Amino acid sequence: MATESNKPGVIVVGGGVAGIQASLDLAEMGHQVYLVEASTSIGGNMAKLDKTFPTNDCAMCMISPKLVECARHPNIDIRTMTEIVDLKGEAGNFDAVLRTRPRYIDPAKCVGCGICAQKCPKKIVDTYNEGLSQRKAAYIEYPQAIPLIYAIDPNECIYLQKGKCRACEKFCEQKAINFDQQPVEETIRAGSIVLALGYKLYDPLKVGEYGYGRYPNVVTSLEFERMLSASGPSQGHVVRPSDDKAPKRIAWIQCVGSRDVSRDRGFCSSVCCMYAVKQAMVMKEHDKELQPTFFFMDLRAQGRGFDAFCQRAVDEAGLRMMRSMISQVSVDPQTNNLVIEYLEPGSKQRTEEEFDLVVLSVGMDVRPEARQLMKLLNVETNEFGFCEHPFGEAVATSREGIYACGALQGPKDIPETVAQASAAAAGAIKYLETPKQTETRSAEVKPVAVSTDKEPRIGVFVCHCGINIASIVDVDKVAEEALKLPHVVHTEHLLFTCSTDSMKRIQEAIKEKHLNRVVVSACSPRTHEKLFQSTLKEAGLNPYFFEQANIRDQCSWVHQKLPAQATEKAMSLVSRAVARAAQLEPLEEHYVKVQNQALVVGGGVAGMSAALTFAEQGIPTTIVEKTDKLGGFALNLPRTLQGGSPRALALKLETQVKGHPLVDVLTNADLVNLKGSVANFTGVIEHAGETKELNFGAAVIASGGIEYRPTEYLYGENDAVITQVELSKKLEEDPGFASSLSTVAMIQCIGSRNDDNPLCSRVCCSAAVRNALAVKERNPNAQVLILYRDVRTFGLMESYYTKAREQNVLFARFEADSPPQLKQVDGGLELSFLDITSGRNVRFRPQVLALSAGIRPEPSAKKLSQVLKLPQTAEGHFLEAHVKLRPLDFSTSGLFLAGVAHSPQFTEEAITQGRGAAIRALSVLTKSELLTSSIVAEVNPDLCAACLTCVRACPFGVPRVTKDRVAEIDIAACHGCGVCVSECPGKAITLHHYTDKQLMSNVVGCA
């Protein structure tokens, strides 16, 4: 029967990073979320990864706080081992039938002890480790699994298959085993559905020429990730499957199951090049003697900073980049070494080379259960099985009320997946009742404030982090020595302190040992401090009685070859953390009233999409646009590669924005000053020669970008030299223009991938292919030549690159240090270049030369960054809080990022980011009160001389001098940066949680 609720919730299908992000965004707005996952736990493929680039963060450490947050959130109901089997109704009023398979273990009784797995006699292939190890028929997928409840595999269990055994039942002290469990069906009422089913790897057995499944030392990219991982089958020590020896020569082969029309795989999987380069970098950290080789056709490094990362791999890891398509791999039966035959670039001579290990960069594929579900839900898919969407709505599907995000919609990297998940949440709330503004205060656990005169009782918990820490640092010794430190009454070491069972253990220890301070020695507080603070809070302890020692990043990772010294350093860091913990004081948590109004800076497609998302949720919104019209650069783009019109879309959004009663548009306006903090900002706006103040709770920064104006290749001197944007306009506005052309040339990477702007502009290759196809469509006899460094038609755009080649568009590659040359001859143009494939010098006389000019951030972004106190990259784009998991957030709470202000991107990507950034901001704007940080500065009026130093020094303009001639700091507006504290000549200002005494104790330690 249907669940009793007058308010339909949202069903999110898929527990990977996309499903988790969408669930958290929706739940934070007060909506009920049913997170449906077919496997035994959430986490998806990201839980299998080792590290991510370019930050070198541990993937599991990155995602585990979000997993725990999902498990703890009162508005998220996690349904594992569950799938949708029927759907009726329409958007706003769906009835979904969910079927949950039996675990054969009672979730209410299981404590995650693992006795059932220990006693189970049946060993089977461990799918979490990609078949490289074995597990039992009673199992959890990985140690940090959410929920931490064991399951029994019915296809492998001896009792369920043969009626014998039941060893697990005999030894389970909790009596949790229940072989009588049956599938359970339940009908859930939902207003909308978000599909986030992720991906599976293409089956490499279908690509027999590389020997996978026949040669033991040929592995897939995901298998190699598990080899690299500290929680993997070899505990992070990469060895050859054939003989367990460490490989010294490793080859990575790209495009396995991608860009292969012969196998109906005519798309690029987008991420393979970069994860292979990352793997080479990480492997080099493991083994300095490694000789890595990277075989590829085109380097698909289209993200911000990706090219620089690849260059780092060449310079630091010695990665040898070989541009060659490998046709087969053979094996030396005596050594099990692998032989690859290839042509070196610019050479016709074949070369044979032996490698110890070959890694296949296997492409993404749609999961079979995803195909079945989309068919069941009557959702349209494309020829490759990915979810179709209308232009401009990248997360919408063909069925109203159902949204798709992440790799289900097409191959993509983690940041795009996370942004799409937030955008899908923005779409899903259209069909839900707007929740009443909620007070964070009512939902928060009240911590017990321990008085400062109470003797400190400190507990120290040392994390193994799998073997990330424990393989280098002697965690037993660290815990043993910590027990000797003053005020320490309890120590223990845990496999993963961020897992749910470990956090329960910390809470138990707080109560059993009467701890009033906690020190966790683990990874970075940047990713985990809030998680542990909330653990203390749930145990009734003030969250500011927590201190973290980073013995992973600062010990085990940087001193891999010096275990003894790393252990000594870890003990020193723990000693300092303990000394600081003894000085910590309970801080009172503050609540501020939320200004339920939004600001959007920038009136392009990203900004307008954000504004509409706010307005649809009843939030009054002001758009500040520096030019005299809305639309941004999209107004210059008549057509996309897929046939959509950015210009028409921008005009449609403009009409919607101007027609919405809750959106106020200010053109020819600038944000010139900003005060306050999250929930209560005050912005000063210059408009129509006047200044006005605007109060708002959160803002989206979507300041946009511009086209690079070339100084190369006679641009501006010869009318036949134009940009791709200008060529698009000519082709659109003058249908006969293409018919007059017999020869057209295009040059890529103009103003991109050079010393002035190292970034790839992402959109240029598709723009060139689009214009080339447009010319060919109208004039099939025209010769069209595209000169490129790498063709980056990633994802589903690859099929258009294939189509261009089929229509005889010529592609010729050049090196960055040997670009094409252009001169004027007899009143016309003559291009000369070295054709690397043939090794011949070629001359070509085009009637039109189109330059693929790159994207640059809006010049005013620099001034805006100073006003907002926000960081920028070297290229001038704004810098997000975390490149992978917080791509739409700034490190400054309450400010969010979207569009080309973030990085070069397509129109649809900008819209997605705009909607996603808005949904992130709505987590603030839908509340009436917000809990803010207690780390704020406070003035001692008895010591203040009203010298105005703090007033002048504060980058946020918070301090002011009262009529009593003393400085005053508004705790609601203070950012806790500490600048005023360091500048005050009279030492009249204290930064709570970072007092002089606390900082000095951290420096000196328990000496």
Which pLDDT tens digit goes with each residue over 273-289? 999 999 999 999 889 99
Question: Whose CA is closest to 19, among 63, 74, 72?
Answer: 63
**Cα separation of 343 and 347, whole Å?**
6
Among the residue ranges 339-348, 353-362, 745-754, 872-881, the one predicted with the least confidence is 339-348
Q: Is the pLDDT of residue 442 over 50?
A: no
The neighbouring-strand residues paired with 696 are 681
Average pLDDT rounded to a whole number, residues 434-450: 52
What is the DSSP code string of 774-841? Answer: HHHHH-TT-EEEEEES-----GGGHHHHHHHHHTT-EEEE--TTS--EEEEETTEEEEEEEETTTTEE
Average pLDDT rounded to a whole number, residues 718-744: 94
Higher pLDDT, 35 or 325: 35
| Structure token pair of residue 474 | 């002697």
Which sign, positive or negative, has the C-alpha torsion 647, 650, 654, 656? positive
Question: Whose CA is closest to 897, among 702, 761, 607?
Answer: 702
The neighbouring-strand residues paired with 135 are 124
Higher pLDDT, 919 or 558: 919
Q: Is the pLDDT of residue 544 over 50?
A: yes
Q: What pLDDT sits at residue 3? A: 39
Task: Assign 443 a pLDDT band (cuts: 50, 70, 90).
Answer: very low
Note whether 982 and 990 are within 8 A (CB): no
Q: Is the pLDDT of residue 436 over 90?
A: no
Q: Give Cα separations from 981 to 119, 734, 914, 939 (angstroms).
A: 59, 65, 37, 9
Measured between alpha carbons, how far apart are the two ends of the chain, in Å?
A: 65
* Torsion, Cα of 755, 758, 763, 769 (10° steps): 50
Pairing of strands 927-932, 438-439: parallel
Question: Whose CA is closest to 267, among 796, 740, 754?
Answer: 796
Note whether 25 and 459 are within 8 A (CB): no
**Rg, the chain, Cα only:** 30
Please enumerate in sequence order all residues whose Cβ is within 8 A of that of 211, keeping only pairs 6 or more positions apart, or say none: 218, 328, 329, 330, 331, 338, 358
Average pLDDT rounded to a whole number, residues 927-934: 88
Q: Give Cα separations from 116 to 150, 154, 175 (angstroms).
A: 8, 14, 11
Average pLDDT rounded to a whole number, residues 124-150: 92
CA angle (568 as vertex; 564, 569 as ends), nearest 5: 115
Q: Give Cα separations from 312 to 332, 476, 660, 734, 883 (angstroms).
A: 33, 37, 49, 46, 18
Q: Is the pLDDT of residue 61 over 90?
A: no
Q: Is the pLDDT of residue 301 over 90?
A: yes
Q: What pLDDT sits at residue 441? A: 46
**Cα separation of 787 and 749, whole Å?**
9
Q: Is 313 helix (H, G, I), strand (E, B) or coil?
A: helix
Q: Give Cα separations from 447 to 66, 534, 972, 990 (angstroms).
A: 22, 10, 20, 23
Q: What pLDDT sits at residue 926? A: 93
What is the DSSP code string of 332-394? Answer: -TTT--EEEEEEPTT---EEEEEESEEEEEEPEE--HHHHHHHHHTT--B-TTSPBP--TT-T
Neighbour-count burial for 828-844, b at 16+ CB within 10 Å, e otherwise: ebebebbeeeeeeeeeb
Question: Whose CA is closest to 10, among 25, 40, 31, 24?
Answer: 31
| Structure token pair of residue 462 | 């040392």
Pairing of strands 960-961, 967-968: antiparallel
Task: Write down the mean pLDDT value for the chain.
Answer: 92
Q: Is 737 helix (H, G, I), strand (E, B) or coil?
A: coil
Q: What pLDDT sits at residue 80? A: 97
Element (H, E) at 982: helix 979-983
Average pLDDT rounded to a whole number, residues 67-82: 93
Note whether 552 and 469 are within 8 A (CB): yes
Peptide bond into 147 cis (omega under 30): yes
Q: How many CB atoms lie within 10 A of CB 997?
A: 11
Q: Is the pLDDT of residue 789 over 80?
A: yes
**Cα separation of 193 and 755, whole Å?**
46
Burial class (CB in 10 A: 0-12, 13-18, 19+), 452: exposed
pLDDT single digits (tens) 901-911: 999 999 999 99
Burial class (CB in 10 A: 0-12, 13-18, 19+), 806: exposed
Q: Tell me phi and psi for residue 646, to 5 degrees.
A: -60, -35
Residue 309 C-beta-side C-alpha neighbours within 13 Å: 24
Q: Give Cα separations from 625 to 138, 304, 437, 632 (angstroms).
A: 59, 25, 29, 9
| Structure token pair of residue 830 | 């003559």
Task: Assign 450 a pLDDT band (cuts: 50, 70, 90).
Answer: low
Q: What pLDDT sits at residue 349? A: 79
Q: Is the pLDDT of residue 211 over 50?
A: yes
pLDDT single digits (tens) 650-699: 999 999 999 999 999 999 999 999 988 899 999 999 998 899 999 999 99
Pairing of strands 329-331, 338-343: antiparallel
Q: What pLDDT sits at residue 383? A: 94
Average pLDDT rounded to a whole number, residues 581-590: 89
Element (H, E) at 403: strand 402-404
Q: Map tokens 């006969």 to a residue.
A: 736
Q: Map tokens 């879309």 to a residue.
A: 649
Residue 409 C-beta-side C-alpha neighbours within 13 Å: 31
Task: Assign 4 a pLDDT band (cuts: 50, 70, 90).
Answer: very low
Average pLDDT rounded to a whole number, residues 483-488: 94
Q: What pLDDT sits at residue 956? A: 83
DSSP state of 662: T
Q: Is 204 helix (H, G, I), strand (E, B) or coil?
A: helix
Q: What pLDDT sits at residue 914? A: 98
- Helices 798-806 & 764-778, crossing angle to 10 degrees? 40
What is the DSSP code string of 62-98? Answer: HHHHHHHHHHH-TTEEEEESEEEEEEEEETTEEEEEE
Q: What pLDDT sits at residue 448? A: 53
Q: Is the pLDDT of residue 841 over 80?
A: yes
Note whether 377 and 91 are within 8 A (CB): no
**Cα separation of 84 and 888, whole Å?**
31
Average pLDDT rounded to a whole number, residues 825-837: 90
The neighbouring-strand residues paired with 549 are 521
pLDDT single digits (tens) 510-538: 999 999 999 999 988 877 888 899 999 99
Residues in the chain: 1007
The neighbouring-strand residues paired with 310 are none
